[in-house]
A and B are shown apart, each in its own frame.
Chain A
């Protein structure tokens, strides 16, 4: 992984949550996409990607989210993205209409709850 970004993965209520800190651009988006797809086992309910610590995300990063959604859907896994409401990254995702394809939450707890049974 390049030094621009770091991914930390932790399980919350059996849901893997990948927190991406740093910057996502065309130099590392493919690497990050592959790391996310590898992070989810087929036994998991799905994946939560937490962008609240992400300081920069461009169209390559948006593409990475669409690609990850497609790959996980192919494995019948759910996918949710967490972004701070009102942040610049929230604006970027709104322009590219990510919410038509991927569920977006304001906090990790909401995203994990949505993937938990019951």
Chain B
């Protein structure tokens, strides 16, 4: 079986995460492992992990003051791209200070599309990145 066939069958990654900053590192590790299994290049993995981490940090800030809050991360394959969705149940807040503003700037710089939406029930960030699988690069 080729890597392409196996990665097309790779299941989406679905995580429900406690809204605490010390959960960021375990989320990065899970996402990195999933992307590696799918054959993503290291450059794409770095970009997707960073952008996702920024969206997760925002979700954790939205939950500030709710000790039991969680958020959800989903990563899935489309035809030639990876889609990341991060959903929280907190209210959207404008980024606090320039630090979080930079987070959104980084998300936009390293992904092809970033959409931030939300309503009374929470905030949802949808991002996608067209990617190159390692074996395709090797054949080129």
* Selected interface stretch from B81-89, B100-108, B124-132: B100-108
A96 touches B21 (CB 8 A): no
**Contact partner, B106, options A23, A26, A66, A92, Cβ 8 Å:** A92
A23 partner residues in chain B, CB cutoff 8 A: 25, 28
Report A's interface with B, CB cutoff 8 A.
2, 4, 23, 25-27, 56, 58-60, 62-63, 66, 88, 92, 95-96
Tally A-B pairs: CB < 8 A. Answer: 57
- Is B22 interfacial (CB 8 A cutoff)? yes
Report B's interface with A, CB cutoff 8 A.
21-22, 24-25, 28, 43, 46-47, 49-50, 53-54, 57, 60, 97-100, 102-103, 105-106, 109-110
Could you pull out 7 A-B pairs where Cβ atoms are within 8 angstroms? A2-B22, A23-B25, A26-B21, A27-B22, A27-B24, A59-B99, A95-B106
A4 partner residues in chain B, CB cutoff 8 A: 25
CA distance A92 to B103 in the complex (A): 10
